[in-house]
Amino acid sequence: MRCPDPTSYGEFARSLDARLAGKRWPASGTIELTWRCNLACAHCYNNVPAGDVEARRGELTREECVRIFDEIADAGCLWLLYTGGEIFLRPDFLDIYTYAKRKGFLITLFTNGTGITPRIGDALAEWRPFKVEITLYGRTRETYERFTGVPGSYDRCMRGIRLLLDRGLPLSLKTVVATVNQHEVEAMKSFADELGVRFRFDAMLNARLDGAPGPAALRLRPEEIVAFDVADPARRGEWDRAVVRHPAPAAADGDSGPRYSCGAGIHGFSIDPCGKLRICALSTSDGYDLRAGSFREGWERALGRIRSQRATRRTKCTACALKVLCGMCPAMGELEHGDAEMAVEPFCEVGHLRALAFGVPIPTHGHCAFCPGGSLYGALVAKVEHLLGFAGSFEETAPSIPRSARS
């Protein structure tokens, strides 16, 4: 299948969004091929050692993947995201990948790039993915390998990037921003610019699936996260558009509202390495065993039931209009607290800081210390005033803090 050019693809995506409005259709799936990884990044929410025998034994076989791909194609799925762990640890990756390509899926690959070989590069050149995203953990060897915990991984990543670029493949770079590498984000962006590829970053680190400590210790402070947004006018524009496009769903007085407000279970789904169909890759509380049943059964009944769940109680997140600015979702609550409806406080603070910095109104939405009148609101205002005062080129276009916020 030939991937459409950006213009025609954009038109196609927009028309499809209009057709999907109000309908449940499994248009996009995330396929976790393995939880195993050849790196040992402390931030990662699910990495299992590459040599874990039990984990490998539990992974879907090629034959099981083929059957599942047939079923999700019949259900109308168009997009697949292959992720892990590290996808290229699977010796049968190319078999699984090319079968899905023959089915006509538009496939995106998430990888750390260290396992890309000339053979893999040649195969991807023949069966072009829609996109390949390589995570870059630092611009210097020292920072990168301090992050990954594996000597030699930086050079292997650079080799993987070059192999893909030499073959003209649709590559982009990204990073997860943590205390270990925050000082090299600008250098990573410059590197991507030099290569002529897109670059993005995310500093919102989730807790681990197994509850082990690690990611929380590497998180930036909320004001450090928002400082990256404030320093980049383009990023500010992205948040402005997000607020307009994704308003929070209204909940009537006394109504706890729906548990889920994202696209998970409406247009998207996730399948883990063991064949469990889930509403998203981060949510581990419920699912459907595809080894024991069909995708259609799992999508229509199991995920339909999960998606229709109502929240059990009203919280400060129920009627919050800033959800798109903090990214809060039930999966984050599950990972952080074992409670899908409990807010992750550092993320809540990030959302309110972004709102103040970008001039987004903050309507009161329950007992929230970060809202106007709340016990921590004054401290937030002071943080934002500091950020805007040292924002470089952003300072000229930044909104002023309302006088009422200063009192």
* Residue 3, pLDDT score: 47
Region 308-321 average pLDDT: 88
Percent of the chain scoring above 90 in pLDDT: 64
Q: How confident is the model at residue 245 (pLDDT cuts 50, 70, 90)?
A: low
pLDDT value, residue 328? 86
- List, for residues 203-243, the tens digit of each pLDDT value: 999 888 777 767 888 999 999 999 998 888 777 777 777 76
CB proximity list for 300: less than 8 A, separation 6 or greater: none
- Indicate whether 2 pLDDT > 90: no
Q: What pLDDT sits at residue 398?
A: 39
Backbone angles phi, psi at 161, to 5 degrees: -60, -45
Q: What ranges do the domains of the chain cover?
A: 24-220+260-307, 323-406
pLDDT at residue 360 greater than cutoff 90: no
pLDDT of 344 > 70? The answer is yes
Read off the pLDDT of residues 154-175 as tens digits, 9 standing for 90 and up: 999 999 999 999 999 999 999 9
Answer yes or no: are the C-beta atoms of 314 and 253 closer than 8 Å: no
Is the pLDDT higher at 14 or at 278?
278
pLDDT at 252 over 80: no
User: Per-residue DSSP letters for 85-127?
Assistant: S-GGGSTTHHHHHHHHHHTT-EEEEEE-STT--HHHHHHHHHS
Q: Quick check: 351 and 328 in contact, CB under 8 A?
A: yes
Residue with tokens 């897109």: 198
- Express each pLDDT in 115-143 by its tens digit: 999 999 999 999 999 999 999 999 999 99
Kindly state the average pLDDT of the residues 326-352.
90
CATH class of 24-220+260-307: alpha beta
pLDDT of residue 197: 98
Count of helices and strands (H, E) across the chain? 17, 11
> Cβ distance 350 to 399 under 8 Å?
no
Structure confidence by residue, pLDDT tens digits, 101-119:
999 999 999 999 999 999 9
Enumerate residues 6+ apart whose C-beta is below 8 A from 252.
none
Between CA 110 and CA 159 the distance in angstroms is 16
| List of E strands, 272-363 | 276-278, 288-289
User: What was the pLDDT predicted at 17?
Assistant: 67
CA distance 158 to 212: 30
Q: How confident is the model at residue 364 (pLDDT cuts 50, 70, 90)?
A: confident
- In this structure, the strands spanning 198-202 and 268-271 are unpaired
The pLDDT of 288-316, averaged and rounded, is: 94
